[in-house]
Amino acid sequence: MSIFPAARPTLAQVLDLRAERQAMVREFLTGVTPELLAEPRPSAWSPEHEKPVLHCLHVIFDEEWEHLRFAVRDLDAQE
């Protein structure tokens, strides 16, 4: 069994899933506390090592920032 789908998702499906994930993060952030940010969670790549929730959020935000930078990197050249 594979984690990869047999068919390629459509752009609409990808955008819908992305919007769902963004909503999940927004909802989480509405109730976050310093104590929750300090709680340990298993690392995705090495579950025996734990990282605080704040680290997990940093990973998400860093990935979003890098994707945005890539998406807009050549816009000035396009004009």
pLDDT tens-digit readout, 6-58: 888 899 999 999 999 999 999 999 999 999 999 999 998 899 999 999 999 99
Residue 17 CA to its chain's centroid (Å):
11
Q: Where are the domains positioned within the chain? A: 12-78
> Is the pLDDT at 73 greater than 90, yes or no?
no
79 pLDDT band, cuts 50/70/90, is low
What's the rounded Cα separation, in Å, for the pair 4 and 2? Answer: 5
pTM of the model: 0.74
